[in-house]
């Protein structure tokens, strides 16, 4: 049946041209989660296809795409390319909200975090792949497409066919430039890849380039020490099409930042991937497709790298199509850190890369402006906002949610989206923007039951529940005009945002964990005079100016962050949840934080245990008279979240189960056991 439907779908390929979308080819059309119906929206189907694009390098709408004019063109002077897409939608022909999920490193992300199940092989097909069906029960049509090229291949497991959504962008043939890659190791090794996290990079224009340079240093601000060229060599990729590697005599060691620099050639026109998203959404926004009407609404959603991509699209005006219309009415940027106003659209861009405490401080992932309302940078005298180019021809802007966890305040400069660049004053979000801080949460919901490679157990807060509520709220805001939850994030004015020095002074002693020396202070980079206007780096590595000042949430007497969204775990706490977790000394850089993880330290069970341990925090016994009292506290906290619009009534029982389950496991745990197995239900 599947093969028959696929053949019929291929025969029914759409060839209508619209704006920059030349045509849509359907290559597969099959039931999604066969036999399952999702509430009033019924059964769903999956359509897999290919979108074919043609961009005019002379069009004003494409002027911001770096190196587009250097890409090969057809006889009409257009740059041609294509990208694969996947669409999940109700089979009944009814208008729905089209929710575009920006894939993360080729992988579908929203289903794992919002529905609770990442699709097997990155190919949503079965009832299991639908998770709890949340997005389907709420009637969203889900669209995914390829937009980035720098995804490293992985060895397929037996019997599987991994299908990452990887983009083949146009190439600026013959262009050369210097490229630098930074890497570290967690254990001694002779051979290592030098690309970004699970990514690809540009390889040397000259094989085994004799003029390439390899350096080492202990911290980002230290002087680079050259390693003799005779002591190292380039090595073939481990997998065909994978990133290159280097081999060093005596081996690479932890606690060291290595950097390799060489001349590369033929950069990808990476910004074409952003234009492809723009034009695909423009097409679906206006066109009935395969028997279904055009959507009633179009939204975008992105997690981490994917959220930063949305920020870059708006920074470059690539959220407005060639006809001058917004391609999405609203967007949700989840854990984007400082917002992503750089990266993604420059010569030799590598979207996989981004800075954290110890690495990648020379990659342009974030740059001024950071705020949605105009802000002045006192260092340069410039005044700007992230939305200066994001208006349509009628002057409208999309409605936006920015949501960060505590970890992004420590590791990704999150405070900058609501402060001045010097960190001295709050900057209120623009009228079309809401900002949320999920306090005590980490970049993703914790799942590790081991301390390694960090010093503490990971945080257990579940910020995926307010994410679900906010997705529904964004749809209601953009379709019905219903006001969403008010912004809730740490601020300087009310003392819930502070310096790292103050945090360290306030944080309670005797918990067995010590706060970091510093959070990420976003670097101010100078790549030369052409970078800001043309996206071309002439200075590699870049010169550094004074860092942008970043702040962190203020801790309370328990060590839990103040301000922001008060998750149930912080209103009815079982311990201290932080946004940071220090690296284990044997992995190197013991002073630095984990890139993505927070910490959790439970309260003592009884007052006697608390006194014996020297723990300054009241025990569970002192806070909750018994289990029933704790259950009541969780219900009260969940009710407050529902009233605030940050928890859906359907998710109250899930929150209760998660939190009461942890309460039971803490009481059953031997406090002398320093393992982390008790954190999560088996």
User: What domains lie within the chain, and their CATH numbers?
Assistant: 176-265 (2.60.40), 345-374+387-398+410-432+440-525+547-682 (no CATH)
Give me the pLDDT at residue 11, please. 36
Query: ∠ at Cα 376 (375, 380), nearest 5°?
Result: 140
Closest CA to 372 of 405, 335, 401, 343: 401
Residue 18: strand, helix, or coil: strand
Give me the pLDDT at residue 157, please. 62
Tokens of 341: 């106003």
In total, the chain counts a number of residues equal to: 682
Burial letters 56-77, b for 16+ CB under 10 A, else e: bbeeebbebbbbbebbebeeee
Q: How far apart are CA 595 and CA 469, in angstroms?
A: 26
Tokens of 476: 């209601």
Tokens of 68: 């587009």
Average pLDDT per consecutive 10 residues, the chain (682 residues; last block may be shorter):
39 47 96 97 97 97 97 97 98 94 95 96 95 98 97 74 85 97 95 92 96 97 97 95 96 97 98 98 96 97 97 98 97 94 91 90 93 96 97 98 98 98 98 98 95 96 98 98 98 98 98 96 94 95 95 98 98 98 94 96 98 97 98 98 98 98 97 92 84
CA 674 to each of CA 178, 456, 461, 616: distance values in angstroms, whole numbers, following the listed order? 48, 9, 19, 19
Q: How far apart are CA 198 and CA 83, in angstroms?
A: 21
Give me the pLDDT at residue 155, please. 76
Closest CA to 306 of 571, 110, 518: 110
Q: Is 161 exposed, middle or buried (0-12, 13-18, 19+ CB in 10 A)?
A: exposed
pTM for the predicted model, two decimal places: 0.96
List strand residue ranges (DSSP E) for 91-212, in order.
Answer: 97-101, 140-145, 176-183, 189-193
Q: Is 175 exposed, middle or buried (0-12, 13-18, 19+ CB in 10 A)?
A: middle
Q: How far apart are CA 77 and CA 299, in angstroms?
A: 32
Give me the pLDDT at residue 14, please. 41
Give me the pLDDT at residue 94, please. 86
Number of C-beta neighbours around residue 629 at 10 A: 11
CA 445 to each of CA 113, 131, 220, 414, 607: distance values in angstroms, whole numbers, following the listed order? 8, 16, 29, 18, 30
Tokens of 159: 């019997």
Closest CA to 116 of 124, 106, 128, 125: 128
Q: How far apart are CA 449 and CA 597, in angstroms?
A: 12
Give me the pLDDT at residue 144, please. 98
Give me the pLDDT at residue 133, please. 98
Q: How far apart are CA 338 and CA 370, in angstroms?
A: 6
Q: How far apart are CA 569 and CA 125, in angstroms?
A: 34
Which are the contacts of 98, defined by CB distance < 8 A and separation ≥ 6? Answer: 140, 141, 143, 281, 284, 285, 295, 297, 298, 299
Is residue 111 within 8 Å of 134, Cβ to Cβ? no
Is residue 440 within 8 Å of 570, Cβ to Cβ? yes
Give me the pLDDT at residue 2, please. 43
Q: How far apart are CA 363 and CA 660, in angstroms?
A: 43
Give me the pLDDT at residue 196, please. 85
Query: Phi/psi at 151 (nearest 5 deg)?
Result: -110, 115
Is residue 338 within 8 Å of 413, Cβ to Cβ? yes
User: Side-chain half-sphere of 161: how many Cα atoms within 13 Å?
Assistant: 3
Is residue 635 within 8 Å of 589, Cβ to Cβ? no
Which are the contacts of 481, defined by CB distance < 8 A and separation ≥ 6? Answer: none
Give me the pLDDT at residue 119, please. 94
Is residue 598 within 8 Å of 442, Cβ to Cβ? yes
Number of C-beta neighbours around residue 567 at 10 A: 28
């Amino acid at each position: 049946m599947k093969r028959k439907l696929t053949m019929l779908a291929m025969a029914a390929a759409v060839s209508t041209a619209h704006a920059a979308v030349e045509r849509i080819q359907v290559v597969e059309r099959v039931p999604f989660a066969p036999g399952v119906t999702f509430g009033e929206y019924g059964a769903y189907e999956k359509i897999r296809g290919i979108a074919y694009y043609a961009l005019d390098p002379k069009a004003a709408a494409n002027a911001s795409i770096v190196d587009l004019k250097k890409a090969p063109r057809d006889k009409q002077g257009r740059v041609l390319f294509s990208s694969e897409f996947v669409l999940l939608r109700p089979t009944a022909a009814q208008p729905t909200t089209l929710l575009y999920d920006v894939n993360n490193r080729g992988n579908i992300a929203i289903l794992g975090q919002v529905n609770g199940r990442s699709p097997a092989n990155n190919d949503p097909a079965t009832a299991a792949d639908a998770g709890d069906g949340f997005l389907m029960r709420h009637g969203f049509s889900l669209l995914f497409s390829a937009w980035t090229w720098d995804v490293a291949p992985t060895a397929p497991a037996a019997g599987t066919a991994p299908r990452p959504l990887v983009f083949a962008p146009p190439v600026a043939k013959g262009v050369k430039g210097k490229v630098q890659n930074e890497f570290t190791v967690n254990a001694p090794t002779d051979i290592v890849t030098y690309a970004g996290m699970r990514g690809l990079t540009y390889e040397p224009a000259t094989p085994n380039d004799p003029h390439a340079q390899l350096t080492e240093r202990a911290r980002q601000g230290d002087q680079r020490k050259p390693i003799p060229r005779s002591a190292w060599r380039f090595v073939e990729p481990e997998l065909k099409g994978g990133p290159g590697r280097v081999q060093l005599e005596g081996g690479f060691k932890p606690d060291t930042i290595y950097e390799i620099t060489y001349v590369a050639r033929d950069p990808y026109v990476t910004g074409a991937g952003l234009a492809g998203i723009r034009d695909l959404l423009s097409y679906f926004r206006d066109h009935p497709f395969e028997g279904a009407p055009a959507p009633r609404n179009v939204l975008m959603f992105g997690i981490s790298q994917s959220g930063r991509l949305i920020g870059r699209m708006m920074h470059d005006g690539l959220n407005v199509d060639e006809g001058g219309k917004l391609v999405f009415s609203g967007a949700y940027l989840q854990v984007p850190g400082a917002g992503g106003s750089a990266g993604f659209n420059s010569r030799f861009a590598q979207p996989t890369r981004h800075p954290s405490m110890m690495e990648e401080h020379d990659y342009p992932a974030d740059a001024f402006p950071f705020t949605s309302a105009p802000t002045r940078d006192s260092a340069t005298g410039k005044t700007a906002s992230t939305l200066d180019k994001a208006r349509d021809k009628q002057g409208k802007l999309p409605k936006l949610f920015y949501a960060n966890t505590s970890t992004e305040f420590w590791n990704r400069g999150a405070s900058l989206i609501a402060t001045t660049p010097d960190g001295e004053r709050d900057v209120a979000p623009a009228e079309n923007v809401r900002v949320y801080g999920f306090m005590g949460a980490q970049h993703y919901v914790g799942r590790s039951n081991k301390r390694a490679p960090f010093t503490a157990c990971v945080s257990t807060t579940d910020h995926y529940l307010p994410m679900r509520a906010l997705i529904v709220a964004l749809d209601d805001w953009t379709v019905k005009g219903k006001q969403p939850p008010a912004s809730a994030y740490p601020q300087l004015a009310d003392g819930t945002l502070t310096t790292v020095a103050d945090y360290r002074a306030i944080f309670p002693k005797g918990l067995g964990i010590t706060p970091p020396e510093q959070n990420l202070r976003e670097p101010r980079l100078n790549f030369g005079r052409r970078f800001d206007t043309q996206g071309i780096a002439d200075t590699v590595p870049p010169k550094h100016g004074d860092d942008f000042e970043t702040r962190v949430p203020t801790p309370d007497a328990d060590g839990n962050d103040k301000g922001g969204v008060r998750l149930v775990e912080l209103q009815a706490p079982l311990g201290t949840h932080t946004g940071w977790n220090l690296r284990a000394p044997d992995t190197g850089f013991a002073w630095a934080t984990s890139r993505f993880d927070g910490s959790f330290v439970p309260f003592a069970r009884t007052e006697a245990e608390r006194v014996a341990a020297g723990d300054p925090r009241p025990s569970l016994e002192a806070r909750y008279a018994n289990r029933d009292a704790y259950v009541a506290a969780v219900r009260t906290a969940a009710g407050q979240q529902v009233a605030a619009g940050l928890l859906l009534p359907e998710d109250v029982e899930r929150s209760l189960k998660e939190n009461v389950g942890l309460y039971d496991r803490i009481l059953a745990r031997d406090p002398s056991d320093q393992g982390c197995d008790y954190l999560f239900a088996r």
